[in-house]
Amino acid sequence: MSADVDARNDDTGDLKPFDPKRKKKRACAPVYLEPQIYTYDEMLKMFYAKCPDAAIQTFKLPPPTLAIHGPHTCWMNFTKICAGLKRDQVHVMGYLRTELGLKEMSITDRGLVYRGKTKERDLESLVKKYAAEYVTCRACRGINTRLERKNRLLFLTCVCGSKTRVEDI
C-alpha cells in the first residue's frame, strides 16, 4: 500500500487518495456538560461510598475507674480499656509499669492492682499516649492494627499495608 492512501470508500470499498481538507466522520456529536460543583462534605461522602475501607476509625474509651484501698489502687475497668484498644493486658500493664515506675502490678478479676496512688487523669493521659504509640497507624491514622514480633523486634502492622517498628517495653 502507498502512503497517500488512508481509508476505504464506504460505497465501493475502493481505496481513495488522502485529502487533508476532508473532515473525519464522527459517530456522535460531543456533549459539553457544565461541571458539577460539590461541597467538601458531599465529596467526602462520595469518597467513603466508593472506598469504605478508607474511613478513619476512632475509638472512645471510658475514663479509668479507680478504687483506693489503703496503699493499693485498683483500676476497675482495666480489662474494658484493653479490649477497646485490642491489646493484650500484659503488654498494656508492662507499659504502665514502665511509665509509672512501679514494680508490683497484678491483674486480678477485679482489675489491675498496684501499690501507689495515681490520679485518674494521669492514667487517662497514659492510655492516650499508649494508643498513639502502640495502636494508631502512623501512615493512615487507623486503629485496625496489630503488634507483631519478628526477630526480637516489635512492629505495628496496619491493614493499609504500613509496617512500623515500635519500641519494645
Tens-digit pLDDT profile for residues 51-105 = 666 556 677 888 999 999 999 999 999 999 999 999 999 999 999 999 999 888 9
Q: Per-residue pLDDT for 4 more than 90?
A: no
pTM above 0.85, yes or no: no
Pull the grid cell for residue 155: 512492629
pLDDT score at 95: 94
Tell whether 5 is covered by a domain: no
CATH of the domain at 126: 3.30.30.170
Distance CA(116)–CA(30), nearest Å, equals: 77
With 70 as the cut, is the pLDDT of residue 29 above it?
no
> Is residue 110 one of the residues assigned to a domain?
yes
Q: What distance in Å separates the CA atoms of residue 60 and residue 66, rounded to the nearest whole number?
A: 18
Same domain assignment for residues 68 and 82: yes
Strand (E) or helix (H) holding 48:
helix 40-50
**For residue 147, what are the domain limits?**
138-169
Is 88 part of any domain? Answer: yes
Number of alpha carbons in the 13 Å side-chain half-sphere of residue 117:
4
Is residue 154 domain-shared with residue 113, that is, in the same domain? no
147-159 residue pLDDT tens: 999 999 999 998 8
Indicate if 151 and 131 belong to the same structural domain: no
- Does the residue 54 lie in any domain? no
Regarding whether 148 and 119 lie in a shared domain, the answer is: no
How confident is the model over 102-155, as pLDDT tens digits? 888 999 988 999 998 889 999 999 999 999 999 998 887 888 899 999 999 999
